[in-house]
A and B are shown apart, each in its own frame.
Chain A
Amino acid sequence: MALIELKNLTYHYPLTNSPALQDLDLEVQEGEFLAIVGANGAGKSTLCYTISGFIPHFFKGELAGSVSVAGIDPTKAGLGEFVQKVGLVFQNPFNQISGSKFTVYEEIAFGLENLGIDPAEMRERVDEIIRLTRIEDLKDRSPYALSGGQQQRVALASILVMRPQILVLDEPTSQLDPIGSQEVFQVIKDMALQGMTIIMAEHKVEWVAEFADRILALSAGQAIKLGTPREVLGSPELPEHGIGISRYTQVARKALQAGLWPEKRSMPVTLDECVQGFQEIIA
């Protein structure tokens, strides 16, 4: 059985008539990195909230179909079970700071205090995660005195320290500057390389193309494409659904029109594939 299984999932937010997600089927295996792309309002956040249990436990509304996440069925289990297995990090770094702690170190320990972890183990785990997320230099500062990128890494650390089985990221870099985004992506990459199961909604397709195992493209609450980055991002209908295509694909398309791209070669989605194509035509 897959780690995450959604069958025929349809969800309406309270007091709405059109579904935010419609007839969605999805299976994610353990250790997989799945990226979700889609225009604003396509249902990316809704899907993230469903996998992390906030739908239907925090946002009420109407959920049809079946959901199973790490063996948890939301109709039988509460949010408490979900938060111990699934970690959620979202866009706004500022709002993810708990607000009750005065240093980054205490902030990261907040989740462990709530889980009732013994203080000695707590310190070990916090130290370890501070090292992994490269925020040693921030640990004694106030979480509010940090830049967006730093805050987002603290938010990531605060979730990772709870050792979730699945990490759900809802556009974690959309409010960050390029350097902040890079630092956050680096941490996510490290986690993916360690074999953590990651679900990530993200607009930056170049990055997603490089690191995701599979991509799910959503439009108006429905899955329009699910497959490897090349299968999904190379498909010509994406722009119709308001999904940006990789700048490497754009370059290759222009090159193809100008006769500068090997005709048998498929459209590239990453920098490496793009460079290989040009090397082939030069040779």
Chain B
Amino acid sequence: MPDRLSFFIPRESRVHSLNPLTKLALAFSLIILAFFGPGLFLPVALYFFVLVPLSLLGKVGKEFLQTSFRLLLPLFAFLFVMQSLFYPGGETVIFSFWIFSATSEGVVFAFRTATRILVMVSSFLLLLLTTHPSTLMNDLSRRGVPASLSYIITSTLQIIPQMQARAVTIQDAQRSRGLDTGGNLINRIRSLLPLVGPLVFSSLVDVEERAIAIEARAFTLPVKKTSLIDIPDSRGEAVLRWVMAALSLMTIGYRIWLSLN
């Protein structure tokens, strides 16, 4: 069983020691800027002049670039091919072959969408690489997010590898009784069906015991919870968060003003 269940990479850095809420606010305001801000090249600029430097400052540059490329390159390739060829309302033909023709409107649309997605995914990636999930959740519940919500999120992170391990066990048991799980794609997909029943039902049985266990540890007791981990926060960071919130609001305001005129 792997000890590491999240994206988090434990390192000492200025980004790691930021309050989780600051990083979350940064992620959201970058996304808002990328989606609603002016100019075609703003998202790319945000990526190269804000996110990449921050990932280097956070000493996770390599993992940051690797993961974002792996996640996004196939998507971008697909997006560019589809949009440049089939963008509705594309008129300016760049080149054409057989029955297809690529339009520059399509290319621009694909570029805009791709760079926005790039900012969206990589700003969350930066947050997850430099923030331990339990720190984030502790901080959020300290600020009034319901404990049950943060419980659901952190326990889901933990439960996925458990479910995978159980699925492997069930499949091994079925294979040892003669279920054929190899062969072509259709056969493999068909052999997944008998897995679903036992996996889902055994998980449902576990839910009751899990509920008793956390109930026995006073989870629903109506007192104000405390937190083992002290999460540092500072005046400066609070100011920074307000600035980012203001900037996001201004960007949205600008977009509304544009559409009204």
Q: Do A and B come from one complex?
A: yes
User: A-side interface residues toward B, CB under 8 Å?
Assistant: 52, 54, 58, 79-80, 83-84, 87-88, 90, 92, 95-102, 105-106, 109-119, 122-123, 126, 141-142, 144-145, 155, 158-159, 162
Q: Which residue of A lies closest to B205 (CB)?
A: A95
* CB-CB contacts below 8 Å: B185-222 with A: 206, 209-222
B169 at the interface (CB under 8 A from A): no
Residues of A within 8 A of B155 (CB): 98-100
Give the total of B residues in contact with A, Cβ under 8 Å.
Answer: 39
B168 at the interface (CB under 8 A from A): no
The answer on a CB contact under 8 Å between A90 and B217 is no
User: Which of A98, A116, A145 has the most C-beta atoms of chain B within 10 angstroms of its own C-beta?
Assistant: A98
B67 at the interface (CB under 8 A from A): no
Give the Cβ gap from B120 to chain A, nearest Cβ, in Å. 26
B229 at the interface (CB under 8 A from A): yes
Give the Cβ gap from B147 to chain A, nearest Cβ, in Å. 8
In the complex, given contacts A88-B212, A111-B217, what are 18 additional A-B residue pairs having Cβ atoms less than 8 angstroms apart?
A52-B216, A79-B220, A80-B221, A95-B209, A95-B213, A98-B155, A98-B219, A99-B210, A100-B155, A112-B228, A113-B226, A114-B219, A114-B225, A122-B226, A123-B228, A141-B3, A142-B5, A158-B217
The majority secondary structure among interface residues of chain A is helix
Residues of B within 8 A of A109 (CB): 228
Partner of A100, one of B1, B137, B221, B226: B137
B66 at the interface (CB under 8 A from A): no
B132 at the interface (CB under 8 A from A): yes
The answer on a CB contact under 8 Å between A100 and B216 is no
Residues of B within 8 A of A97 (CB): 213
17 CB contacts below 8 A, A to B, read: A80-B218, A84-B221, A87-B216, A88-B216, A90-B212, A98-B217, A100-B158, A102-B5, A102-B132, A102-B158, A105-B228, A113-B228, A114-B221, A117-B226, A142-B3, A144-B5, A145-B1
The answer on a CB contact under 8 Å between A100 and B209 is no
B133 at the interface (CB under 8 A from A): yes
Partner of A58, one of B150, B212, B226: B212
Residues of A within 8 A of B221 (CB): 80, 83-84, 114-115
- Digitize B90-105: 1 where CB-to-A-CB distance is under 8 Å, 0 elsewhere: 0000000000000000
> How far, in whole Å, are A106 and B211 apart by their CA atoms in the complex?
19
Residues of A within 8 A of B216 (CB): 52, 54, 83, 87-88, 159
Residues of A within 8 A of B224 (CB): 116
Residues of B within 8 A of A111 (CB): 217-218
Q: Which residue of A lies closest to B4 (CB)?
A: A142
The answer on a CB contact under 8 Å between A98 and B133 is no
B19 at the interface (CB under 8 A from A): no
B17 at the interface (CB under 8 A from A): no
Residues of B within 8 A of A102 (CB): 5, 132-134, 158
A114-B3 CB under 8 A given contacts A92-B209, A95-B213, A102-B133: no
The answer on a CB contact under 8 Å between A144 and B158 is yes
Give the Cβ gap from B2 to chain A, nearest Cβ, in Å. 8
The answer on a CB contact under 8 Å between A113 and B227 is yes
